[in-house]
Amino acid sequence: MDNTDLQFKHSASCKANSAFAWSFWTDVSNWEKIEGDTVEWIRLEGDFQKGTKGMTKTPGQEPQHWTITDLVADEYATIDIELSGAILHNTMRFKSLADDHTLITQTMQLSGPEATEFVEGMNMLKRSAPAGLAKLAKAIEEVA
């Protein structure tokens, strides 16, 4: 298996300046609105900053714990989700474009000794990521 199975990247643009798009995304209550019935709740244990921990509860599942492991305000953040023997790294980047548009790029990568055990789930994420980014872009535009 090659590393292309363990990493992917997708982008979407929205008609809003990058500072607004960043502010919208870092308010995790907006994540709940975008995800709808696929999540029961999303919680952040403090401010959206490096080192802060969070949890996502999906119906019928135990809460999934995650940590903001890297962050440059208004530019990008990486959220790591610990799995059994692997880590899913989810990086969201916000880049200013002309005419108050923002390019949002999501990179997801699996690492760790058991990463290959999660390839099927990673492939599901890869298929759903474009639609998820499109929902995020639309939600940002609706309130910008």
State pLDDT tens for residues 13-24.
999 999 999 999
Q: Which of 57, 33, 35 is nearest to 44 (CA)?
A: 57
Per the DSSP assignment, residues forming a β-bridge with 77 are 71, 92
In contact, 10 and 130? CB cutoff 8 Å: yes
In contact, 55 and 65? CB cutoff 8 Å: yes
Element (H, E) at 26: none
Is the confidence at residue 54, as pLDDT, over 90? yes
Residue 124 and residue 8: Cα distance in Å, rounded? 11
- β-pairing, 64-72 vs 41-44, is unpaired
In contact, 75 and 45? CB cutoff 8 Å: no
3-state DSSP assignment of residue 126: helix
State pLDDT tens for residues 59-115.
999 999 999 999 999 999 999 999 999 999 999 999 999 999 999 999 999 999 999
pTM for the model: 0.93
